[in-house]
Structure 1
Amino acid sequence: MQCPQCHSTQTAKNGQRRGRQCYKCKQCGRQFLESYRPWRYSNEVKQLCIKMYLNGMGLRGIERVTKIHHTTVMHWIREAGHRLDDAPEAEEIPEVTDLDELQTFVGSKRNKLWIWTAVNHKQAGILAWVIGDRSRETFKRLWSIVKCWQCFFYVTDGWKVYPMFIDQGDQIVSKTYMTWVEGENTRLRHYLARLHRQSLCYSKSVDMLKCSLRLLLHYLKDRTVPLPA
């Protein structure tokens, strides 16, 4: 029997694992099996893990329940998220849009980021979003999408960036009328463990955060998740 690592033929039997013969290389110490079975998780298992993730469970929590390594689940989430648009296509163009920011962080609490969201004032569902700091440059990316809707009014809080882009007569500054957008931001925190307050779960990359948001927004609208490639 040849060692798959150093290709030495000086190997010896080393017990059995689930009925299959194990070997150990005398040269490099590598332990290996005579043959390996091809392994592939079913589509049902992949979708179940992603749905668990989109219902508030962290990656390591899913691992504890399903015995599937958290990096495998993370890989499925990335693959599925990269295949989606940022948000599902809007059924109608809003006449009034709510705008708000949700604070989070990536890597450490010192690396703060904001998720800027745009919501139809009369319907549930986030229509557009961007991730970045709380500066005008970040909102400018969201505004390039929102301004195309040509809404009558834009409901915001008192953050200084908004008047730089929204005409005074078109902006309504009122926390009272921001129920829709604040409710949608609360749903993001509720469904994604990485956005929970005072949680051990947190984002380690912006790319993973983006994939998570894409998957969640499509899941909340259709109650289905795409299969990883």
Structure 2
Amino acid sequence: MECPECQSTHINKNGQKKGKQNYICVECGRQFIDCYETYRGYSDQLRNECLKMYVNGMGLRGISRVKKVHHTTIINWIKQVGTLLPDSDSRSEIPQVGELDELQTFVGSKKTKFGTGAALDHFKKGILEWVMGNRSGEKFYPLWEKVKKWECYFYVTDGWKVYTNFINDGDQIISKTYMTRVEGENTLLRHYRARLHRRTLCYSKSLDMLKHSIRLLIHYLKFWDVPVPDRTPEFSLKT
């Protein structure tokens, strides 16, 4: 046996440490045990289960009580995954008819309103583009910069006054009757995340956490699975 500090072989036993034999180096005084356990962290299966419980509407502290994982650990997993997930679905075909709508929620307190502007294909499921911010033209502009590249025949909206600043009159159809697709997607988001419910005590404490939650939920609703963060310093996603 060698000292891990000075590689000396002049080693003596020095009592027990957490039920294991402790040693001391006579030359440099370094104390050590013969075999250290390697902590591998939580398994990928447990991470996947916690994230699935989260996107299915269960609260962080509820998951913590059931899975015996601290809620801040689960928050970190959500942030890691949300950071790497995209805001856009680049794999979908360019729609011929687009739908635009907003979903209102709160950040920080029930007095601070924020909205999620979403754009999708009128004929297919799934949100293609979305942006988070207050209900203003400034916040809608980044979404429109992406959506206008679709060059749709027309866009179906609910007549929100901001749209008229970006969409030509002849390219916009204002009708709640034809907005069943986007309204359905908004309903799904509200159904699966408590912080998005119309009447709820839940709300996001930070805008970043809300964005991460929505990215993860949109991914789940498309693939019915969630990626897990890789357990490396330069983490990536495992699917």
- TM range, normalised to the smaller chain? 0.7 to 0.9
| Structure 2 counterpart of 1:109 | 110
Partner SS state of residue 101, structure 2: strand
Structure 2 residue 65 is matched with structure 1 residue 64? yes
Greater alpha carbon shift after TM alignment, 142-151 vs 193-202: 193-202
| Structure 2 counterpart of 1:176 | 177
Gaps of 5+ in 2: 1-17, 21-32, 230-234
- Counterpart-to-counterpart distance in 2, 1:60 and 1:197: 21
Aligned-pair distance for 1:84?
1.1
Letter in 2 for 1:209: L
Superposition TM-score, scaled by structure 2 size: 0.79
| Structure 1 counterpart of 2:162 | 161
Contact in 2 for aligned 1:87/1:214 (Cα 8 Å): no
Aligned-pair distance for 1:187?
0.6
Contact in 2 for aligned 1:99/1:181 (Cα 8 Å): yes
| Structure 2 counterpart of 1:202 | 203
Instruction: Map 1:17-36 to 2 at 5 A.
Output: none
CA separation of 1:112/1:36 partners in 2, compared to 1, >3 Å: closer, same or farther? farther
Partner SS state of residue 156, structure 2: strand
Superposition TM-score, scaled by structure 1 size: 0.82
Aligned-pair distance for 1:168?
0.6
| Structure 2 counterpart of 1:125 | 126
Letter in 1 for 2:53: M
Aligned-pair distance for 1:194?
1.8
| Structure 2 counterpart of 1:152 | 153
Aligned-pair distance for 1:39?
5.3
Greater alpha carbon shift after TM alignment, 131-140 vs 143-152: 131-140
Contact in 1 for aligned 2:110/2:203 (Cα 8 Å): no
Kindly report the root-mean-square deviation, in angstroms, between the aligned alpha carbons of the 2 structures: 2.0
Aligned-pair distance for 1:224?
2.2
- Counterpart-to-counterpart distance in 1, 2:228 and 2:67: 18
- Counterpart-to-counterpart distance in 1, 2:125 and 2:88: 13
Instruction: Map 1:41-80 to 2 at 5 A.
Output: 41-80=42-81
Partner SS state of residue 161, structure 1: helix
Partner SS state of residue 172, structure 1: strand
Gaps of 5+ in 1: 1-18, 22-33
- Counterpart-to-counterpart distance in 1, 2:38 and 2:199: 42
- Counterpart-to-counterpart distance in 2, 1:208 and 1:20: 42
Q: Which has the larger radius of gyration?
A: 2
